[in-house]
Amino acid sequence: THFGFREVPESEKATLVGQVFQSVAGKYDLMNDLMSLGIHRLWKRFTIDQARVRPGYQVLDVAGGTGDLGAALAERVGPGGRVVISDINPAMLEVGRNRLADKGIVGNVEFVEADAERLPFPDDSFDVATLAFGIRNMTHPDQALHELYRVLKPGGRVLILEFSHPTWPGVGPVYDLYSFHVLPRLGQWVAGDRDSYQYLVESIRRFPDQETFKGMMETAGFDLVEYFNLSGGIVALHKGIKI
């Protein structure tokens, strides 16, 4: 790579990602706040706004982890709707289940252990599907996009929030400094796990840029694909419709 890190072979990737989230699940929410200085909450709020969820909707949050989006979505679908939070990692789902139960969010949420590349749902099941900070860790993101497309109802909308490539001039160098020097140390201090955070930084660098990812969504079948750069392109929200 450009940065002298080891490329992770495909065969090792799924296992490594599993270990990363297994080892950080308990500290995951605290780390999100620290790493992003709380800004991930704004990125997620923007995603929820763009999801335009109405009462009664069936919503799927893929790689839903500890349930940040899931909680907000559950409020919006109301008692007549349903939010399915799916994740490949049972430890993350467990943290999510407890968090939502503590907030009194029960009844219209379900937690499903599932690989995004093979979703255990019938075709045309959901009005909205969301995926935040999960697709870049997947072995075959194109397969995950294909699955998202398959399970959405015609007219359904997908929102994919992910780290992307800074577009504002000047952001790049500061962001590099932050991700290669500050972040792995934060991971070490707070979660006792430098390698996992180093791996996350590398995976962000390798992930396709905004336009490339938009093309991947179109290849998967989505129409009217557009994206919003957030925080100068550090994060992008891609939106698409299944027609």
* Whole-angstrom distance, CA of residue 114 vs CA of residue 131: 13
* Residue type, position 223, single letter: D
Among 115, 127, 162, 202, binds ligand SAM (CB under 6 A): 115
H or E segment and range at residue 163: strand 152-163
Among 60, 73, 74, 92, binds ligand SAM (CB under 6 A): 92
Q: Given the complex with ligand SAM, which of 16 and 171 has the nearer CB atom? A: 16
* Whole-angstrom distance, CA of residue 191 vs CA of residue 197: 9
Q: Given the complex with ligand SAM, which of 71 and 225 has the nearer CB atom? A: 71
Under rule CB under 6 A, residue 89 binds ligand SAM: yes
* Whole-angstrom distance, CA of residue 128 vs CA of residue 115: 18
For the CB of residue 142, give the shortest distance to ligand SAM in the complex, in Å. 12
What angle separates helix 210-219 from helix 141-151, to the nearest 10 degrees?
50
Binding pattern for the stretch 143-182 against ligand SAM, x by CB under 6 A and - elsewhere: ----------------------------------------
| DSSP state, residue 27 | G
* Range in contact with ligand SAM (rule: CB under 6 A) among 100-108, 112-120, 182-190, 214-222: 112-120
Under rule CB under 6 A, residue 207 binds ligand SAM: no
Under rule CB under 6 A, residue 51 binds ligand SAM: no
Among 59, 74, 84, 88, binds ligand SAM (CB under 6 A): 88
Under rule CB under 6 A, residue 117 binds ligand SAM: yes
Q: Are 24 and 92 in contact (CB under 8 A)?
A: no
How many residues touch ligand SAM under the rule CB under 6 A: the total is: 19
* Range in contact with ligand SAM (rule: CB under 6 A) among 76-84, 113-121, 150-158, 183-191: 113-121
* Whole-angstrom distance, CA of residue 147 vs CA of residue 116: 7
For the CB of residue 176, give the shortest distance to ligand SAM in the complex, in Å. 20
Output the CA–CA distances (angstroms, integers) from residue 77 to 33, 50, 56, 126, 161, in the order listed. Answer: 26, 14, 5, 12, 20
* Whole-angstrom distance, CA of residue 219 vs CA of residue 227: 16
Interacting residues with ligand SAM (CB under 6 A): 17, 21, 63-66, 68, 87-89, 92, 115-117, 132-134, 137-138
